[in-house]
Structure 1
Amino acid sequence: MGDLTALVKRHILRYLRDKAAVFFSFLSVIILLTLYILFIGKQYTTYDGLTALPDGELKTFLVVGVMMGGVLVINSMSLSLGMMGNLIEDLDKHSLDAFLVTPIKRSKIIISYYLAANIVTSTLSTVMWLLTVVYARISGGSWYSLDIILLTILILIFFTFISSSIMIYITTLLKSVNAFGVLSGILGTLVGFVSGIYMPLVFLGDTVKSIASLVPFTHMTILLKNLLLKKPIDELADLVQDDQIMATIETSYGLDHIGVLGIDIPMVWIFVGIIVFSMGLLYLAFRSMTKKMNR
């Protein structure tokens, strides 16, 4: 256990000391926040039934819920990928050779990268969420309830497990630091569009929607948005009192469950499938790493 702890600590400190790596891990989040603040955020308060609402608590809650429902999901992915920079760099520079001549089990070496990614990603995602709670209070004047705050933290930890499993597998497929850099630069933006984070899926057509239904991050975003927007949507429904307008708003906010390839599948079963898929990728990553270390 001491060996594993030392390795995890090494990966975490190495990542945090690399300011460029930390910055680029947040780059997708920075881009997304900028888009929301300058352009996208305003669109979510211009639908019928919203224009008559005064600026204040409810509008702020709506925009924050939509915005952070996507940002926190992208954050879990980009931070997990950023942490995998340690892995690809160790592979590229043959730093793992130094570990292989020690008594440390190879399984511990592989697990250490995964645990380090989970710890850093879940911690920084939780910090970002708590800052969101404070921001919502300062700008809108209302708190998220304690049960929403705690449940969101648990969901973010769950999302971290999924994201880290996917990212470690993708990383084991790469052969150089340059390839990793290219992937880091485009993956966040690609997932943001395909998953309906930058723009609601309803505006992207049926083909993109079908593709999006196969991407775990799409369903993660829908789940988190529904949680963060439950209270403001209920309050808005009481004010608007028009089911058709509310249905349009919920669709435009990306709250509707989309199933898989047009097939209506309950969200719980979709996430069971995502868990199995993530565990499968983690197993494949373990095998791939073992083969590379045996060379």
Structure 2
Amino acid sequence: MYDLLSLVKRNTLIFFRDKTAVFFSLLSTIILLALYFLFIGKQYTNGLEPFGEEVMTYLGTSVMMGGVLVINTISLALGVMGNIVNDLQQRKLDAFLVTPVKRYKIILAYFITSVLVTAVLSILMWILTIIYVGIRSGYWYPWLTIFQVAGLLIFYTFLSASLMIFLTTLLKSVNAFGALSGVLGTFVGFICGIYMPLVVLGDTMIYVASIFPFTHMTILLKQVLLKDPYSLVPIEVVENLEVAFGTKEIGVFGQEVPMIWLILASLIIAFLLLFFAYRNMSKKMAI
């Protein structure tokens, strides 16, 4: 256990010492926040002026952070995994392989580091969101919502880290990792309806998006975040907002699938990805 904790500590320190890596891990989140505040946010709150500035802020920030927090778990999880690529390319793992440390612990340490760093920073962002909304709008999220969102962020972090460690073990160079980092945030932003509602992109895009777990992650998080803000507007307005904000469940290929089944399927996929990542990494360390 001590050697595993030492590896986790080592990976965490390496990540935070590289200020450039930290910045680029947060870049997708920063860009998305800028887009929301400059352009997209106005689209979501357009027509809500009769309900007052406070309600508009509560609604607009909630739908905005539903997407930002998901992007954050993905981009951060990938950013931390940069340690794997660097260690492989610079042959730093050779030093570990001549020690009694088991190989699975080396791989597990990368995964645990990604989960811990991503979860802590994502929950910190959630706390800042709570404070921002409370001060700007005068409305505070219920305690149940606060804990539900925190729990979902930890779960999403586990899913994201599983996918990212799998993708990272497929890469062979730092350049390839940089290309993946640049493309992934944009891809997820569009496919999950974060940059704009899926309904705007048409039925075909909705069908395609429905096969990606991140799409359902975004929908579920928005549902939780907007539950209380929705109670402040008439029910007929809520029905329109559910479509505009992308909080209606889309199922899979147009077929209704309970959210619990989607969550279980995502968990199974995550464990499978971990297994394949372990296999890929073991082969690379054997070379």
Q: TM-score range by the shorter chain?
A: over 0.9
The answer for unaligned runs of 5 or more in structure 1 is: none
**1:85 counterpart = 2:82:** yes
**1:281 counterpart = 2:273:** yes
CA–CA separation in structure 1 for the residues paired with 2:89 and 2:254: 42
Code of the residue aligned with 1:24 in structure 2: it is: F
Identify the residue that residue 67 of structure 2 maps to in structure 1.
Answer: 70
Alignment of 1:18-37 (within 5 A): 18-37=18-37
CA–CA separation in structure 1 for the residues paired with 2:50 and 2:106: 58
CA–CA separation in structure 1 for the residues paired with 2:140 and 2:52: 19
Give a deviation string over 1:122-147, Cα, whole Å, max 9, x none: 00001000000000011111211112
Identify the residue that residue 202 of structure 2 maps to in structure 1.
Answer: 205
Code of the residue aligned with 1:90 in structure 2: it is: D
Identify the residue that residue 222 of structure 1 maps to in structure 2.
Answer: 219
Give a deviation string over 1:97-149, Cα, whole Å, max 9, x none: 11000110001000000000000000000100000000001111121111211
Code of the residue aligned with 2:204 in structure 1: it is: T
Alignment of 1:116-265 (within 5 A): 116-237=113-234, 241-242=235-236, 245-265=237-257
Is the partner of 2:139 in helix, strand or coil?
coil
Is the partner of 2:45 in helix, strand or coil?
coil
Is the partner of 1:236 in helix, strand or coil?
coil
- Identity, % of aligned positions: 54
TM-score normalised over the length of structure 1: 0.95
CA–CA separation in structure 2 for the residues paired with 1:164 and 1:39: 30
Identify the residue that residue 5 of structure 1 maps to in structure 2.
Answer: 5
Deviation at 1:152, TM superposition (A): 1.1
Give a deviation string over 1:86-105, Cα, whole Å, max 9, x none: 01111111111110001100
Deviation at 1:195, TM superposition (A): 0.7
The answer for unaligned runs of 5 or more in structure 2 is: none
Deviation at 1:36, TM superposition (A): 0.5
Which segment drifts farther, 77-86 or 260-269? 260-269
Identify the residue that residue 45 of structure 2 maps to in structure 1.
Answer: 45
CA–CA separation in structure 2 for the residues paired with 1:55 and 1:246: 17
Give a deviation string over 1:56-75, Cα, whole Å, max 9, x none: 2x111101110100000000
Identify the residue that residue 285 of structure 2 maps to in structure 1.
Answer: 293
TM-score normalised over the length of structure 2: 0.98
Q: What is the CA RMSD across the aligned residues, in angstroms?
A: 0.9
CA–CA separation in structure 2 for the residues paired with 1:234 and 1:254: 17
CA–CA separation in structure 2 for the residues paired with 1:28 and 1:174: 21
Identify the residue that residue 114 of structure 1 maps to in structure 2.
Answer: 111
Q: How many residues are matched?
A: 287
CA–CA separation in structure 2 for the residues paired with 1:186 and 1:289: 23
CA–CA separation in structure 2 for the residues paired with 1:112 and 1:194: 30
Q: Would you say the 8 A contact 2:51–2:233 is kept in 1?
A: no
Code of the residue aligned with 1:190 in structure 2: it is: F
Deviation at 1:211, TM superposition (A): 1.2
Is the partner of 2:99 in helix, strand or coil?
coil
**1:54 counterpart = 2:52:** yes
Q: Would you say the 8 A contact 2:49–2:56 is kept in 1?
A: no
CA–CA separation in structure 2 for the residues paired with 1:250 and 1:33: 21
